[in-house]
Chains A and B, each alone.
Chain A
Amino acid sequence: MRHAFVVLAITLLGVLFAGIDANVIVRDVATPLGQSLLTLVPRDLGAPNVVTGILLAYRGFDTIGEVAVLFMVAAGVGLVLGESNQRRRKVDATLPPAQPATEIVENGARILLPMIAIFAAYIIMNGHLSAGGGFQGGAVIASGILLLLLALPKVGVDLAFLSATESIAGILFVLAGVAGLVFASGFFDSRILPLGTFGSLFSAGSIPILSLLLGIKVGCELGVIIVRFRG
Chain B
Amino acid sequence: MFDLPISKLVLGTGFLLILIGLWGMLTHRNILRIIIGFSLIDTGIHAVIVSLGYVAGGTAPIIDRALPIQEASTRAVDPVASALVVTAIVIGLSVTAMMLAYAVRLYDSKKTLSIDALADSKW
| Interface residues in chain A, defined as those with a beta carbon under 8 Å from any beta carbon in chain B | 3, 6, 9-10, 13-14, 17-18, 20-21, 24, 26-31, 33-39, 41-43, 48-51, 54-55, 59, 62, 66, 69-70, 72-73, 76-77, 80-81, 84, 87-88, 129-131, 133, 135, 199, 218, 222, 225, 228-229
Closest chain B residue, CB of each to CB of A198:
B63
Check if B19 sits within 8 Å of A10, measured CB to CB.
yes
Against A, the Cβ 8 Å flags (1 = close, 0 = not) of B1-20 are 00001011001100100110
Residues of B within 8 A of A222 (CB): 93
Q: How many residues of B contact A (CB 8 A)?
A: 50
Given contacts A10-B23, A27-B55, A88-B108, contact A37 B79 (CB under 8 A): yes
Nearest CB of chain B from residue A64's CB, rounded to whole Å: 12
| Complex-state Cα separation, A229 to B97, whole angstroms | 9
| Interface residues in chain B, defined as those with a beta carbon under 8 Å from any beta carbon in chain A | 5, 7-8, 11-12, 15, 18-19, 22-23, 26-27, 52-56, 58, 60-64, 69, 72-74, 76-83, 86-87, 89-91, 93-94, 97-98, 100-102, 104-105, 108
Residues of B within 8 A of A55 (CB): 83, 86
Residues of B within 8 A of A69 (CB): 90-91, 94
Check if A50 sits within 8 Å of B62, measured CB to CB.
yes
Which one, A14, A20, A228, contacts B19 given CB within 8 A? Answer: A14
Given contacts A21-B8, A69-B91, A81-B101, contact A49 B69 (CB under 8 A): no
27 contacts between A and B (CB under 8 A): A6-B23, A10-B22, A17-B15, A18-B15, A20-B15, A21-B11, A26-B56, A27-B55, A30-B55, A33-B80, A35-B74, A39-B69, A43-B69, A49-B63, A50-B62, A50-B79, A51-B82, A51-B86, A59-B83, A69-B90, A70-B94, A76-B98, A80-B104, A81-B105, A131-B60, A133-B86, A222-B93
Nearest CB of chain A from residue B78's CB, rounded to whole Å: 4
Nearest CB of chain B from residue A157's CB, rounded to whole Å: 17
Residues of A within 8 A of B61 (CB): 38, 49-51
Given contacts A50-B79, A80-B102, contact A30 B86 (CB under 8 A): no
Top 5 closest pairs, chain A to chain B, by CB? A17-B15, A34-B78, A50-B61, A73-B94, A48-B63
Residues of B within 8 A of A17 (CB): 12, 15, 18-19
Main secondary structure, interface of B, reads: helix
Residues of A within 8 A of B83 (CB): 51, 54-55, 59
Given contacts A26-B8, A50-B61, contact A31 B18 (CB under 8 A): no
Check if B5 sits within 8 Å of A26, measured CB to CB.
yes
Residues of A within 8 A of B91 (CB): 66, 69
Residue in A26, A33, A49, A59 whose Cβ sees the most chain B Cβ within 10 Å: A26
Check if B105 sits within 8 Å of A34, measured CB to CB.
no
Check if A29 sits within 8 Å of B74, measured CB to CB.
yes
